Structure 1
Amino acid sequence: MSMHDENRSASARLGGLSYLNPAAPEPWASFIEQIERVRPYLGPLERWIETLKHPKRTLIVDVPIERDDGSIAHFEGYRVQHNLSRGPGKGGIRFHPAVTLNEVMALAGWMTVKNAAIGLPFGGAKGGIRVDPASLSKGELQRMTRRFTSEIGLIIGPDRDIPAPDVGTNAKTMAIMMDTFSMNRGGTATGVVTGKPIALGGSLGRQEATGRGVFLCAREAGKHQHIPLEGARIVVQGFGNVGGIAARLFRAAGARVIAIADHTATLANDAGIDIPAAQAWVAEHGGLAGFDGAGAIEIEDFWQLECEYLIPAALEGQITPERANRVRARVVVEGANGPTTPAADDVLRDRGILVVPDVLANAGGVTVSYFEWVQDFSSFFWTEDEINARLERIMVSAFDAIWQVAQEKQVSLRTAAFIIACHRVLEARAERGLYP
């Protein structure tokens, strides 16, 4: 989701698309269940599995700021480092009124799996503040970001834990975090965060990377399922930096995007939606509401539209067993983190619907964040074509490896990704041993 997706009131966000699904299990419970499903495939490494069920470090901080009217406001912030066995922590910072420790723990765990499944030299981390960023002025938002950065500065750093943008944050947020950390350190540290503005050591191609990765995974899944992109029907939930960009790339490849949704509206047009026009509307108006290039439909009707590809690119817990029973897509490609509950995963599998899991499908963003981190260390920057080519090579290679494990062991792509990732993380844990 982009900053436009978040800069609306909490009531509008909670009402428009029902992003927060009370029927979904707690995110951490979903993560633990996914880990348990890998246990039979770990062999001797099973003795280390509890490592993945216990975050290495959890920091809860008070974030007090002075409001513009002189009053004092307090916000609760988190930074969770789930596992650092394979390298420094890596994961986004989320500003959202529904942020909880349970959610941040799960997101950090999924980052551990995602980084290992793709083969990046990072562990998993995540952070956030429970706040509606639209309720703060620019000055208040900057003061909150700086205070939060100072509070978590104890555990972050270019070789310790590297935050990035997530829901409700953007390149400007990262610029403020980098500056705050650098001022406290007494020297510029560009590598402390990724997703920065280009002028501060950001990487070309970073903004589009997650959506591009979703598109690449859909393309590769289509090859295996014999679903050509030309003429394929696409349904996209979430229309920010993930869903919107993925939709644009699908359209450019000849696919037909027949439905899009964000926190303000759910729209459909079987003839195909003009995605650049929809993106321009969102940029001007802050949401899809009022866009006349498609008709409004009910949210529950959205889930049962017949299509080749369904792209959930909003928040976690969106596809429940009830919705999974109504899905009429051939392939689900998870642009969001944890959009499908474990029980819904089983329903989709039993119905023969392929799911490309989040830990693979939306890994484009962290992959280009890795490129940014490397470029900052070397002070040598690549062209956008080089970035996109390297991204495609890594994503396609990871997809092929996960597909092969899924075929060999007759498991879902999600379980296959977790098998590969958990083996890599727990092997690193075993080789390092325990200290003291």
Structure 2
Amino acid sequence: MANNNQIAFSEEPHFYDDVCQYVDQAAKYTNHDKGLLNQIKACNSVYRFQFPIRRGNSFEIIHAWRVEHSHHMSPTKGGIRYSEMVNEDEVMALAALMTYKCAIVNVPFGGAKGGIKINPKDYTLAELETITRRYTVELIKKNFIGPGIDVPAPDYGSGEREMSWIADTYLTMNPGSLDALACVTGKPIALHGIAGRKEATGRGVAYAIRECVSVADDMKALGLSSGLDGKRVIVQGLGNVGYHSAKYLIEFGAIIVGFCEFEGAIYSKNGFDLDEVFNHRKQTGSILGFSKSQMDFNNSAEGLEQECDILVPAALENQITEKNIGRIKAKIIAEGANGPTTPAAASAFIENGGIIIPDMYANAGGVTVSYFEWLKNLSHVAFGRIGRRYDENENINIMNLIEKTTGTTLTNEQRLMVSKGASELELVNSGLEDTMIRSYHEIREIKLKKNTGSLRTAAFVGAVDKIAVSYMNMGIWP
């Protein structure tokens, strides 16, 4: 159903303004003071800086940012993006989205984001390490990093390796700090990271889609059956988020009929084997030319416009705009990336009866599991370490009692299945699944109760309400 209260969005994409406009749209469904709403939208701290690195016999200036959007919760939290396209507006927008994202999934962080304006492929490993460590030093000098201050994480162009350099640099400059490793998340397991973090965002996207398509009434309105079995999916991006989104969607019964990457796109109505496509690209440097593809497109955008039920943009922002939204054939867009759909395009898609699973909910799996890692680092004990063996022994005792009193003998396979205690990975995945399930239905309930017209507006309504309560409880706002 079209939302009669849709506001007019500018045609030229300005990411931070887009996010603020979404908040303004949600504010119509709240009764909060205008000044409080302005405070919620504003970026509290914007740190823009530059530093030199030596490359051979010359120097290069590196431009970088760290933005702390909201301090209604401490610490602030958000990834560091390594991209030659990164800019201040983008970092501010992503920091703002992190604030709302954390509120939506009830993770007690304020939003933050970082950016380093480089293409990692243009630098040697030693140069990347120098850049990352120098970036960390700059944050330390200005008090923009710390377990209770601001906690970075991986983002586009960065990963476990960069997070380990950040953690080591922080440890070096804070000797004796007991909780120093909680200064950053997304670390390798060997450096007290957490099982399941790498795949968390993609797994969360898959959970979000599964919950959306499980609601029979909503699917009936789209002309689809409920459940993921047989649903045709196109995924844009074969990075960490796109790969794991596809992997778990396949496990849940979906068929991946298309992949889009910057070099082009492939499509097959029969579906693809994810690992075959991934290995082909690894060997050749391109998804094009895959033998089982029925159609190849040199223009990646064409891949988004093919027949499917669900489209998962899991690359960069502003991939679906008012220029191509009319050619999108999917009935559901699940935003694995941050801001892949412009506001004008989103409005048009929803007015035509589609469903958009918004980014600040759909890709919240990463920050959810980062929260678990942060807790693990602060408690200095892995999840499941204390209770796992006890639970196994208790379950064995119960099985022995059942066998003794009933005369039933369980097979070894049955005994192993029942007696097994939960590992850290299983506990993390359980917590992530519960978070995504609860949050989706909370958002959907707001949408139905307040007739917001879209899940995105409903998500922002819920986030704004929670953040406003936090400010008022802090005594900052009367």
TM-score normalized with structure 2 length: 0.84
Tell me the equivalent position of 1:218: 209
Q: 1:408 aligned to 2:449?
A: yes
Tell me the equivalent position of 1:250: 249
Q: 1:428 aligned to 2:470?
A: yes
Instruction: Give the whole-Å Cα distance in 2 for the aligned partners of 1:304 and 1:128.
Output: 31
**Cα shift at 1:40:** 1.4
Instruction: Give the whole-Å Cα distance in 1 for the aligned partners of 2:457 and 2:176.
Output: 43
Does 36-45 or 138-147 show the bigger shift? 36-45
Instruction: Give the whole-Å Cα distance in 2 for the aligned partners of 1:286 and 1:120.
Output: 38
**Cα shift at 1:285:** 4.7
Unaligned 5+ segments in structure 2 are 1-10, 220-224, 384-423
Tell me the equivalent position of 1:181: 170
| Structure with the greater alpha carbon radius of gyration | 2
The one-letter code sitting in structure 2 at the alignment partner of 1:428 is S
Tell me the equivalent position of 2:6: none
Any idea what the Cα deviations from partners look like across 1:382-419, whole Å, max 9, x if unmatched? Answer: 21111101100011001110010011111210011100
Instruction: Give the whole-Å Cα distance in 1 for the aligned partners of 2:29 and 2:48.
Output: 34
User: Alignment RMSD, CA only?
Assistant: 1.6
Tell me the equivalent position of 1:194: 185
The one-letter code sitting in structure 1 at the alignment partner of 2:195 is L
Q: 1:79 aligned to 2:66?
A: yes
The one-letter code sitting in structure 1 at the alignment partner of 2:117 is R
Unaligned 5+ segments in structure 1 are 1-22
Instruction: Give the whole-Å Cα distance in 2 for the aligned partners of 1:285 and 1:75.
Output: 31
Any idea what the Cα deviations from partners look like across 1:367-392, whole Å, max 9, x if unmatched? Answer: 00000000111112121111101100
Q: 1:136 aligned to 2:135?
A: no
Q: 1:388 aligned to 2:429?
A: yes
The one-letter code sitting in structure 2 at the alignment partner of 1:92 is G
Does 136-145 or 242-251 show the bigger shift? 242-251
Q: 1:108 aligned to 2:95?
A: yes
CA contact under 8 A between 1:81 and 1:89: conserved in structure 2?
Answer: yes
Tell me the equivalent position of 2:362: 361
Any idea what the Cα deviations from partners look like across 1:160-197, whole Å, max 9, x if unmatched? Answer: 11000001101000000111111111246110100000
The one-letter code sitting in structure 2 at the alignment partner of 1:343 is A
Tell me the equivalent position of 1:164: 153
Q: 1:99 aligned to 2:86?
A: yes
Any idea what the Cα deviations from partners look like across 1:283-322, whole Å, max 9, x if unmatched? Answer: 4455424433324124343232121110010101111012
Q: 1:206 aligned to 2:207?
A: no
- Partner secondary structure for residue 52 of structure 2: strand
Instruction: Give the whole-Å Cα distance in 1 for the aligned partners of 2:57 and 2:173.
Output: 25
- Partner secondary structure for residue 44 of structure 1: coil
> Could you tell me which of 139, 149, 157 is aligned with 2:136?
149
Tell me the equivalent position of 1:318: 319
Structure showing greater relative contact order (alpha-carbon pairs closer than 8 Å, 6 or more residues apart): 1
CA contact under 8 A between 1:145 and 1:176: conserved in structure 2?
Answer: yes
Identity %, equivalent residues? 37
CA contact under 8 A between 1:233 and 1:256: conserved in structure 2?
Answer: yes
**Cα shift at 1:426:** 1.6
**Cα shift at 1:53:** 2.8
Instruction: Give the whole-Å Cα distance in 1 for the aligned partners of 2:121 and 2:176.
Output: 32
Change (3 A) 1:249 1:347: same
**Cα shift at 1:264:** 2.3
TM-score normalized with structure 1 length: 0.92
The one-letter code sitting in structure 2 at the alignment partner of 1:26 is H
Instruction: Give the whole-Å Cα distance in 1 for the aligned partners of 2:341 and 2:448.
Output: 21
CA contact under 8 A between 2:289 and 2:296: conserved in structure 1?
Answer: no
CA contact under 8 A between 1:28 and 1:102: conserved in structure 2?
Answer: yes
CA contact under 8 A between 1:303 and 1:323: conserved in structure 2?
Answer: no
Instruction: Give the whole-Å Cα distance in 2 for the aligned partners of 1:182 and 1:288.
Output: 41
**Cα shift at 1:323:** 1.6
